[in-house]
Amino acid sequence: MSEPSQLGKYNITSIIGRGAMGIVYKAHDSFIDRTVALKTIKQDCLDAEDAEQVLLRFKTEAQAAGRLSHPNIVTVYEYGEENNTAFIAMEYVEGRTLREAIANNERFPLEAVVDIIKGILDGLAYAHEKGVIHRDIKPDNIILLKNGRIKITDFGIARIESSNLTQHGDVLGTPSYMSPEQCTGTPVDNRSDIFSTGAILYHLLTGEKAFPGDNMTAIMHRVIHDTPIIPSELNLSIYPDLDQCVFKSLAKNPGQRFQNAEEFSTALTESLETGKNSFVAAASSPTEETVLSRSSQTDTHRRKGMSAKALLSVLSRVKPVYTGAAALFLLLVVITIWMTMKNPTSPEEQTILAPAVIKKEKAMKEASEIAEQDPQDRLTISITSKPSGSRKIINDSYQETVRGIRPRTD
């Protein structure tokens, strides 16, 4: 079947992608000289039983996204039908999906991850304010632009508050990023999108899905019942505050999650800043308490254990510069231990001990000279050294029995 050269007022120039039910074209609007993306569904490719429902959802996408105008949401211009083909004309975006980046094993810096999630939350906050729940937030529907911004796309199963489409009892979405309420088919609200965004955050931070599984049943069971591995156990660069932020967004009970996108975004920013400040403070003044705290955290991780997969995930993200710094630190520790073993007495102790040794030697010399004068008697000399003003008291008590003189009676 030959491809159409035009749909409505749009001149088709190339194919962007193909799907099971239609094709996405790159087209040009000659009236206003604008490049657009045409998302199409060929009605003759649909099953008779599903055609009505699919077309209804397609129109819902146009209606949902069409009422939204936000920098982080792909803009919809028009819905139309021509030659048994339904189409949506939308903003043409040059970029790649977040799923493509993840599939290429790309690892984003912590700040970049936070920027991506905040971009998603900004777009969702606007959509929720307009009464639109996306319900299918996942890496496939997040486009990364060349300028670093993101765009949310595909409102195909979105719920509009004034619509009765796909309400109670429908299970729609992508299992690994669906909320528990979506899995159970119960009514959803904006907090379902919060959960899905939290699942993306977990994936970007750790390189692993929060709820992996070999099939839909296994994944949905984990979404409903299981708690994911703590992110910082899979990525040691994650601050504890970020762990808490992730788990709050993934709470099973919607009432225990962030109640809106703005709250989630604010908490994410604060978690990053708090973690940075704590790290800088600890690095600039490594007190004994800090060392003990770090040691305690390390012991905790050792007791809990890390899977081989998690360890490999961590090692794969360690940068060479950090490895070199760690090697230099280890070398300094070894040198310090060697110097301590070679000279067990510290400089402070040597300073305190020196006067006591000198006094002891002087006293022994004087006693020996006296003993040589009269070898008839014995003299017991007890010398005790106690340097004043010292934090360490050295008591060197000893007795030397030497030959002494009898006291003079004259």
Helices (H), 343-397: 347-373
- Please check whether the two domains, 1-92 and 94-284, share a CATH topology: no
Q: Which residues contact 303 (CB under 8 A, 6 or more apart)?
A: none
- C-alpha to C-alpha distances, 212 to 100, 121, 128, 226, 395, nearest whole angstrom: 18, 23, 28, 11, 68
User: Do residues 238 and 279 make contact, with C-beta atoms less than 8 angstroms apart?
Assistant: no
Low-confidence ranges of the chain (pLDDT < 70): 1, 20, 156-173, 279-326, 340-410
Q: Looking at residue 372, what is its pLDDT? A: 58
Give me 93's structure tokens: 């975006």
Give the CATH number of domain 94-284; options: 1.10.760.10, 3.40.228.10, 1.10.510.10, 2.60.120.20: 1.10.510.10
Give me 316's structure tokens: 């794969």
Total residue length of the chain: 410
Sheet containing 95-97, strands listed edge to edge, beginning at the edge strand earlier in sequence = 95-97, 142-145, 150-152
Task: Give the Cα separation of 127 and 133 in Å (integer).
Answer: 7
Q: Looking at residue 55, what is its pLDDT? A: 84
Q: Please, is 376 exposed, middle or buried when counting C-beta atoms within 10 Å of its C-beta (0-12, 13-18, 19+)?
A: exposed
Q: Which CATH superfamily is 1-92 part of? A: Phosphorylase Kinase; domain 1 (3.30.200.20)
Q: What's the distance, CA 134 to chain centroid?
A: 24
Closest CA to 133 of 162, 175, 107, 97: 162
Q: Looking at residue 126, what is its pLDDT? A: 96
- C-alpha to C-alpha distances, 109 to 37, 116, 189, nearest whole angstrom: 31, 11, 31
Q: Looking at residue 364, what is its pLDDT? A: 64
Task: Give the Cα separation of 7 and 42 in Å (integer).
Answer: 12
Q: 122, 136, 154, 193: which is the annotated catalytic residue?
A: 136
**∠ CA 339-342-345, rounded to 5°:** 90
Task: Give the Cα separation of 240 and 230 in Å (integer).
Answer: 10
Q: Looking at residue 128, what is its pLDDT? A: 95
- Three-state DSSP state, 367: helix
Task: Give the Cα separation of 170 and 187 in Å (integer).
Answer: 9
Q: Looking at residue 88, what is its pLDDT? A: 92
Active-site residue, 136 included: yes
Query: Domain residue spans in the chain?
Result: 1-92, 94-284, 348-404
Q: Looking at residue 395, what is its pLDDT? A: 42
pLDDT, tens only, 125-174: 999 999 999 989 999 999 999 888 999 998 866 665 544 444 444 555 67
| Longest Cα separation, the chain | 142
Q: Please, is 46 exposed, middle or buried when counting C-beta atoms within 10 Å of its C-beta (0-12, 13-18, 19+)?
A: middle
Q: Which residues contact 161 (CB under 8 A, 6 or more apart)?
A: 131, 132, 133
- C-alpha to C-alpha distances, 395 to 344, 351, 359, 390, nearest whole angstrom: 19, 15, 13, 12
pTM for the full predicted model = 0.67
User: Do residues 248 and 267 make contact, with C-beta atoms less than 8 angstroms apart?
Assistant: yes
pLDDT, tens only, 341-395: 665 544 444 444 445 545 556 666 665 665 555 544 444 444 444 444 443 433 4
Q: Which residues contact 286 (CB under 8 A, 6 or more apart)?
A: none
Give me 153's structure tokens: 């796309």
User: Do residues 93 and 75 make contact, with C-beta atoms less than 8 angstroms apart?
Assistant: no
Closest CA to 119 of 73, 184, 173: 73
211-218 long-range Cβ contacts below 8 angstroms, 24+ apart: 211/175, 211/176, 212/176, 213/175, 213/176, 216/175
